[in-house]
Every structure is written in structure tokens, then in C-alpha cells.
Structure 1
């Protein structure tokens, strides 16, 4: 799910949230972003912490919990939940009915952060270069209708500046396809943007998944499991392939029309959005990534460099600057029946993941208000 092209400093908080006391001290403006749900805060220490009662006496936690409740009341989600972690511990909160702390769920485009991490690890090992062209690894695949893999680099794929058409615009993210079929769908269209211009496209990350396999001889799922899931002990995270069922425990997932879409073929998204995970695992992953546990310093800086995408996107991550001056990094994800959002401070010491059990949030102002409630200082 792409971040909306809005100014990086957000511009307006809904008046109803202010009336509920959700505006942190010194915060006068917060505009909608296109990040989607669950917020959680995390630390580089992956120990299990006891969760206090939701909200408690902490004014910031109460504000965050109130914002979460609005995702159900005004955002038209059956249920919402968050896991917030920092150096003092972790806190789970939920609203509505149907989401447990340990539930597995589909994370959509959050998958892209995992794929980008594997590609950058391969670059650190000198097994590929971000300046390599697509043709250097997949010769002749990207051609036709004005598309040319000889002129597109891996950097362009990672930063969504390739201009390639998004295959899910044709499939609506509901048709299972192989990676090759997804690319062929995209290549029936001319470029959707001039190369070098930021234009979010799931096709980019399907191609990166294919390149990981070409370079390593293993699927992107196998490489991500070996390089990320196993070292970080992300036991609730998986790349399900064609498996339509979620692992236990899990709740139900609903489309915007209310139909039950818990059973889903993950090949509708592939390397662009296949991941199944948990709140705890996403907090741990983003904390470890931003703390430098998965990439050398130079490659982590490369991941956070948004200049290629003109400030909109790094590589599998994007920043949002909050009105209090804090910039949070992370990604959102939307897939049929699930919306998730992880945001973290740049050092990974504070992370928030939240999710809803439907396709998205009806009111786009609610998500940025939740981020501000969690990450901007608040006093009574």
C-alpha cells in the first residue's frame, strides 16, 4: 500500500479527536497519510514484557487508546488492536471484538520492507549492485509497450521510481497470479510514470523477488526466512505461498462489504504483499532493522535515503514527520480483509504496530492522529 503524496509534515487533526483530548501538547496540525492500521511501539530488547492495563495513568497511552477506539467507532472497522513497545516495556490494547494479541494476520505491503532488506543484504555481500539493471539479472523480461529493463536499475525498483505499471490495478489484488504472470500483466501497459518519478507499483517488488531467486538460487521466501525470520526468532511470521488458511490463532477478516475473506490465496500479492505475521513480530523486526541488526550502517543509510524518490520513499520504508518534530519510519499494508501499519523512531527504540480486521480505515484522518498520540509528547 503506497504512502499518499502529501507534505511530509502533516497538516490537520480532526476536530472530533481534539475534543477527545487526542492533540498532544504543542500539536496543532496533523494531516492524513495513506498509512493504514495497527500501531505498536518497540525496542531493540526483544524480551517479553508484562502489559499494563490499557491506558492506565499514562496520558499518552490514554490518548493512543482513544484514537484506537475511533478506528472502530468512526473508521468502520469491526475490530482494531495495537502493540506499543519502548524501553519501559510493551502495551497491548484492542477495540471492538475479534483481535487477540497473538493473532496471525495478513500484512500486505509490509512485505516490501522484508524484501528490500534481503536485497540490501545481497548488495552488502557484493552479490548484486543497486546500480545493476533489471536486464542484468532477468535479461529480456521487461520489454514491450515502451518498457525497457536495460534502462531500469534495482535502485529504481526499490524506490518505486521505475515507472512500471502496477499489475494490481488490473487484478484489484484479488486474482492469484504467478510472478511471471504479474509482470506480463504490467507489461501490457506503457509505463505509468516517467522513469525517475516516484510512482508506487507492486510490480517493482515482484521483480525484486524474482531477482533474489535468480541471484541466490532460492525463493525470496527461503532467503527471508534464513536471513530475517530465523535470526530474529519471528516464529509467528511466514511466507505462505499458495496456502489460503491463516495459522492458529487468528480471528476473522472482512472485506469492506462485510463478507468474510479470512481464506485468501496469497498469490494475489506475492513478493509485494504475501506476508503473514503478528503484532509482536512486526515490532521486533522493525526495532531490529532500525537498530542496525540486519544491515551494515552504510546500507541502512541507503535504505533510509529518500532522495531518489524525492522525499516520498526510501527502500521498503518511508518517513512521516509529525508536527512535534519526530519523524517515524515504517510501512503500511492493505490486503483483502486486513490493514496494518508499523511506525518507529529512527533508532528502533520505540515502535508502534496497529491493525484492523478489514481492508482499511473509512476516515483517513484517524491513522495520523493515532501516530501523533503515540509519538508526540503529551502531558495532562
Structure 2
């Protein structure tokens, strides 16, 4: 066991998460681990290999960003094209690049957001967003950025974004355990309702994505550890498929903001081992680090929202990421 493995195992021991599935990727090896429980309430259930997790915002990078990069390779769009050219009713000057790097500065208040039906929520998000002084000056992570990118891609390809992700990413790349409509019995539960004594299982945890359904490119995807390992191998170039936008991905590992704010298209960036790493997190307790040139990575899937949200997880996650990057920088 490495220090990273020990740190993740300690999350379970300290009851920060009920269980975890994780993988450490190296050029010639993939070490996978499954430990702990899938759920602790209302009854205890052990975590099994190949269970699907609610990926939360990892949907943004595995799904929506990949479809966008496909569109770039097909010359249907450029990063600096305006979203307003593809989204009826959206009149802000925001570009795909600004939305994908979360430097759009878009902000807006929507009353009773989580109680609106899908059509009304989409309309409200399109109409309420206004560009603020944060634009190109500050990274402010907001789901609406990737929702907008997804709606623009719907116009480009003529189908809901989740359908596009299924047909253009999941199926052609062989991500057989990934789905927006998983078998609940194969899913790791998320939240637990004390009143009904029921768990949320196989249904997206994110409220906006639960309302928007097939039209949410911000969350909603369930997948196994094996699916993320397989996708990582496409990023590394050790797997190839016509559907994978390899050329666009090769250009991804660099700061793509206007003022050096440390993000690329879809992904955050971290420094380690003399290189930039692609990085993203998900609210449910998922996080993913990849360095394509070094062919190294870390994938961690947990259910930190079961039985309820654990705020201590965030600092521990950041410690694990920092420790992993430090070990990657150390001589073998």
C-alpha cells in the first residue's frame, strides 16, 4: 500500500466516507482498490467491485467536455465562438472558452430554483444570467457554465446532451458500466432520508440535474471505477478510438484562460512532477487526476454524501491530492 492508499483507507476508518473505490495509474500498471461499505443506513451493505457511483460533476469532463472537443475536431465550433450563436434567448457575450474555464463571470438569482419544472428552469437560467466584473479576471466555478455548453451542443448536434454523451462517448469508447439510467441495484447509494428511512440510489443527487434530466450536461452520469480507468487510457493514448478527440485532448494540458488563471477547457489544473495535471472533483465525493504525458493518474470514487454530507471530506481530499502530487514529484 502506498501513502495515497493509506490516506484513502483512513477516510473509511475515520468515518469520513462509508467506502471507496480507487485506482492509481502508472505507465505500466493500474492498481485498483475497493474498501468499506456501500451504505450504512438503513442497513449496512458492503461495497462490491464494479458498483456504479453518481459521478456528479465528473459528468462535465467525461461527458460534456468530450463532446465539445469532438465538435472542435469536426470544425463545428471553436473555443472562442459565442454561446449566444447556439442558444436561443441567451444574449450574453460569453464564449465556450469562458464557460468551460469557469471565467465567464455569469451570475444570476433564480427564486425557487429547485422547485421549477425543467422547461422553466432552463429558461430562467438562460434569461437570468448576466456577465459580472469577474469575467476573465476570476475563476468562479458554477454549474450553469457547463449547462450552457450542453445546450449549445444540443443545437449543434440536434439531440439532448445526455443522449449525445451516450451515443458519442459512452458507447463508442466501450464504457459499459456508465449510464444516465443505471440499474439501482448496481449503484452506490447517496443521501439517506431520516424521515422515510430510504436512500437515494440510481437517481442523480444534484437538484438542478434531477429537474433538467436529459438536458443536463453538468451532472447525472453514473459510472464504475473501471469506466474511468478506461477513459483515462484514452486520454493517455494507450487506447485509441475514432470517437475519442485525441488531438484536442493533447492540446488540453495547458492554461486556456485569458489571464493565466489556472484552468483549461472543462478541467482544473494542478502542478506536480514538473508538469500540469488535469483535475476535477464531484460533489458526491469523486475526484480525478490525470497527467497524459507521464501516463499517471489517480481516480477516487466515494459516497461522501451518505448517509449525509460530510464537510470534513473536502480538506482530507485536498490533502490526498497534494500528497499524491508530491509523491509523483519524488524520485522513484
TM-score (norm 1): 0.69
Structure 1 residue 137 displacement after superposition: 1.1
Equivalent position of 1:79 in the other structure:
19
SS of corresponding position for 1:232: coil
User: 1:102 aligned to 2:50?
Assistant: yes
Counterpart Cα distance in 1 of 2:259 and 2:315: 24
User: 1:250 aligned to 2:192?
Assistant: no
SS of corresponding position for 1:161: coil
Match of 1:118 among 53, 63, 67: 67
Equivalent position of 1:343 in the other structure:
289
Answer yes or no: is the 8 Å Cα contact 2:81–2:96 preserved in 1. Answer: yes
User: 1:288 aligned to 2:251?
Assistant: no
CA offsets 1:120-178 (integer angstroms, 9 cap, x no match): 21122111222221221124x22xxxxx42x121221111122122779974xx65752
- If each structure's strand is expressed as a fraction of its own residues, which one has the higher value? 2
Q: How does 1:122-201 map to 2 (within 5 A)?
A: 122-139=71-88, 141-142=89-90, 148-149=91-92, 151-165=93-107, 171=113, 178=118, 181-185=121-125, 187-188=127-128, 190-191=130-131, 193-197=133-137, 198-201=139-142
Structure 1 residue 220 displacement after superposition: 1.7
Q: How does 1:52-91 map to 2 (within 5 A)?
A: 55=1, 61=2, 63-74=3-14, 76-91=16-31
Answer yes or no: is the 8 Å Cα contact 1:179–1:206 preserved in 2. Answer: no
Counterpart Cα distance in 1 of 2:184 and 2:201: 11
The number of equivalent residue pairs is: 303
Does 180-189 or 102-111 show the bigger shift? Answer: 180-189
With CA pairs under 8 Å and 6+ residues apart, which has the higher RCO, 1 or 2?
Answer: 1
Instruction: Evaluate the alpha carbon distance shift between residue 357 and residue 272 of structure 1 in structure 2; reply closer, same or farther with a 3 A threshold.
Output: same
Counterpart Cα distance in 2 of 1:154 and 1:340: 25
Aligned CA RMSD, in angstroms, stands at 3.2
Counterpart Cα distance in 2 of 1:101 and 1:319: 29
Structure 1 residue 272 displacement after superposition: 0.6
Answer yes or no: is the 8 Å Cα contact 1:319–1:329 preserved in 2. Answer: yes
Ranges in structure 2 where 5+ consecutive residues have no aligned partner = 39-46, 210-215
Counterpart Cα distance in 2 of 1:327 and 1:259: 42
Counterpart Cα distance in 2 of 1:179 and 1:193: 29
Counterpart Cα distance in 2 of 1:175 and 1:92: 40
Counterpart Cα distance in 1 of 2:126 and 2:193: 26
Equivalent position of 2:33 in the other structure:
93
Does 111-120 or 301-310 show the bigger shift? Answer: 301-310
Answer yes or no: is the 8 Å Cα contact 1:287–1:351 preserved in 2. Answer: no
Structure 1 residue 373 displacement after superposition: 4.5
Answer yes or no: is the 8 Å Cα contact 1:234–1:281 preserved in 2. Answer: yes
Does 369-378 or 72-81 show the bigger shift? Answer: 369-378
Instruction: Evaluate the alpha carbon distance shift between residue 222 and residue 259 of structure 1 in structure 2; reply closer, same or farther with a 3 A threshold.
Output: closer
CA offsets 1:26-74 (integer angstroms, 9 cap, x no match): xxxxxxxxxxxxxxxxxxxxxxxxxxxxx2xxxxx2x122101222234
Instruction: Evaluate the alpha carbon distance shift between residue 190 and residue 213 of structure 1 in structure 2; reply closer, same or farther with a 3 A threshold.
Output: closer
Answer yes or no: is the 8 Å Cα contact 1:106–1:274 preserved in 2. Answer: yes
Equivalent position of 1:40 in the other structure:
none
Structure 1 residue 299 displacement after superposition: 5.8
Match of 1:319 among 259, 269, 293: 269
Counterpart Cα distance in 1 of 2:193 and 2:289: 24
Equivalent position of 1:364 in the other structure:
314
